[in-house]
């Protein structure tokens, strides 16, 4: 397979590009771990999760390229994710052991290839433009330099937070305020969720975030498909909070979707808050706290030792203050980098 076959033009010598297969899961996991250790001090990617991205359900919405050196050693991974109409995630991971000049040249080729793949995706969707979305750790100046060279702009910083969970919290956390009810999404006898509840969760989250940074419309099929790609996804980790409206009728006022975190060094799993949103009509009624208490108690009942989440460092709702008050602390910080591009015809 030639470089042009996988969307790479002008790849610097002595590197060669190819498409991934199932045998690449462990080498890719080690590549990610090396990158995370160099940029953030720690890293333990899950090979099973990587396998899903490379050749499983997670590969269906991604275009991916692996790069080997002259000795056949994996040194880079490009993933271009068709996340939603008008939004393409471009992830470039380069082995930190490469010298700066070789790594920069390789990264430049991969970011250019990522843009060409984004053009293809945009034409397929009949778009005139798309947003390229990438990222870096706060303490990773090398990745930040490559993003700048590729035309991206740093637009946001995110706090990656974690909170310990105590076994007693399975039962001793306060319940919701009067008029607020939190329940899991209803499921059929076969364990699959009731469609109406999933649609309510999607609608509440879309409407909750429409005034937040870089909000964009993600269709219901895109939303569900993306969450199902996560190996930690579970249907019994979705919750809806209802509130009473002015007529006393219960209406959806908030939602939380979480997933399973793989075991840490102690062997204990954790829970991760993928999404939490409170609709405007329900703000100021303790809905967010009720949802968070629900996921903490659920984690405690399952024997988990932590709950993780991500929050905008400049959240307009002051969500980071709520999380700190409820026991979350920042483990590390990441950045979002964006670039708007027109789609050539």
What is the number of H-type helices and E-type strands within the chain? 8, 12
Q: What is the pTM of this model?
A: 0.91
Sole residue written with tokens 């843009």: 115
Provide CB contacts within 8 A for 172, sequence distance 6+: none
* pLDDT of 207 above 70: yes
Q: What confidence score (pLDDT) does residue 3 get?
A: 52
- For residues 156 and 312, give the distance between their C-alpha atoms in angstroms, rounded to a whole number: 7
* pLDDT of 7 above 70: no
- Whole-number percent of the chain with pLDDT over 70: 96
- Angle (CA) 91-94-97 rounded to 5° is 160
**N-terminal to C-terminal alpha carbon distance within the chain:** 26
| pLDDT tens, residue by residue, 261-288 | 999 989 999 999 999 999 988 888 999 9
Q: What confidence score (pLDDT) does residue 283 get?
A: 87
- Contact by Cβ (8 Å): 81, 88: yes
CA nearest to 115, candidates 94, 135, 131, 102 = 131
Q: How confident is the model at residue 2 (pLDDT cuts 50, 70, 90)?
A: very low
3-class secondary-structure state, position 4: helix
| pLDDT tens, residue by residue, 212-226 | 655 567 899 999 999
* pLDDT of 10 above 70: yes
* pLDDT of 258 above 60: yes
Q: How confident is the model at residue 300 (pLDDT cuts 50, 70, 90)?
A: very high
Give φ, ψ of 26 to 5 degrees: -65, -45
Q: What confidence score (pLDDT) does residue 329 get?
A: 97
- Angle (CA) 152-28-221 rounded to 5° is 65
* pLDDT of 205 above 70: yes
* pLDDT of 302 above 70: yes
Sketch out the chain's domains with CATH numbers.
Answer: 4-151 (3.40.630.30), 160-336 (3.40.630.30)
| pLDDT tens, residue by residue, 134-173 | 999 999 999 999 999 999 999 999 999 999 999 999 999 9
| pLDDT tens, residue by residue, 69-94 | 999 999 999 999 999 899 999 999 99
Query: Which range is most confident: 33-47, 54-68, 218-232, 245-259?
Result: 54-68
Q: What confidence score (pLDDT) does residue 131 get?
A: 96
Residue 237 CB neighbours (<10 A): 23
| pLDDT tens, residue by residue, 282-298 | 888 999 999 999 999 99
| pLDDT tens, residue by residue, 224-250 | 999 998 889 999 999 999 998 877 788
Q: What confidence score (pLDDT) does residue 216 get?
A: 62
* pLDDT of 1 above 50: no
Q: What confidence score (pLDDT) does residue 290 get?
A: 97
Per DSSP, helices labelled H in the chain are 25-40, 47-54, 100-124, 141-149, 195-209, 220-228, 287-301, 319-325
Q: How confident is the model at residue 8 (pLDDT cuts 50, 70, 90)?
A: confident
Provide mean pLDDT across the span 48-67.
Answer: 93
CA nearest to 298, candidates 201, 162, 160, 184 = 184
* pLDDT of 118 above 60: yes
Q: In what order do the strands lie in the sheet with 329-342?
A: 16-18, 62-68, 74-84, 87-94, 129-137, 329-342, 153-164, 306-312, 270-278, 250-261, 233-244, 180-184
């Amino acid at each position: 397979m030639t470089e042009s076959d996988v969307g790479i033009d002008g790849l610097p010598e002595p590197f060669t590009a190819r498409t991934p297969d199932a045998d690449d899961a462990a080498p890719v996991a080690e590549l990610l771990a090396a990158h995370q250790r160099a940029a953030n001090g720690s890293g333990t990617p899950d090979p099973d999760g990587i396998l899903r991205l490379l050749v499983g359900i997670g590969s269906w919405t991604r275009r991916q390229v692996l790069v080997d050196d002259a000795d056949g050693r994996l040194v880079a991974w490009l993933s271009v994710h068709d996340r939603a109409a008008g939004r393409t995630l471009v992830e470039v991971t380069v082995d930190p052991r490469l010298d700066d000049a070789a790594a920069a040249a390789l990264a430049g080729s991969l970011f250019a290839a990522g843009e060409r793949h984004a053009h293809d995706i945009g034409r397929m969707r009949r778009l005139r433009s798309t947003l390229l979305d990438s990222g870096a750790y706060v303490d990773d100046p090398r990745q930040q330099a490559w993003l700048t060279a590729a035309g991206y702009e740093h637009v946001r910083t995110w706090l990656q937070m974690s909170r310990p969970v105590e076994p007693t919290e399975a039962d001793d956390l306060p319940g919701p305020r009067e008029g607020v009810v939190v329940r899991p999404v209803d499921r059929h006898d076969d364990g699959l969720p009731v469609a109406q509840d999933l649609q309510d969760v999607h609608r509440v989250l879309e409407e909750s975030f429409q005034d937040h940074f870089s909000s964009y419309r993600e269709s219901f099929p895109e939303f569900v498909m993306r969450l199902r790609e996560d190996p930690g996804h579970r249907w019994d980790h979705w919750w809806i909070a209802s509130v009473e409206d002015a007529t006393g009728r219960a209406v959806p006022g908030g939602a939380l979707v979480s997933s399973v975190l793989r075991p840490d060094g102690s062997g204990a799993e954790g829970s991760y808050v993928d999404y939490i949103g409170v609709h405007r009509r329900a703000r100021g009624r303790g809905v967010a706290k009720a949802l968070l208490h629900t996921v903490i108690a659920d984690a405690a009942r399952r024997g988990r030792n932590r709950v993780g989440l991500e929050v905008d460092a400049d959240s307009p709702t002051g969500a980071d203050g709520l999380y700190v008050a409820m026991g979350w602390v920042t483990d590390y910080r990441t950045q979002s980098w964006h670039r708007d591009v027109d789609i050539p015809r």
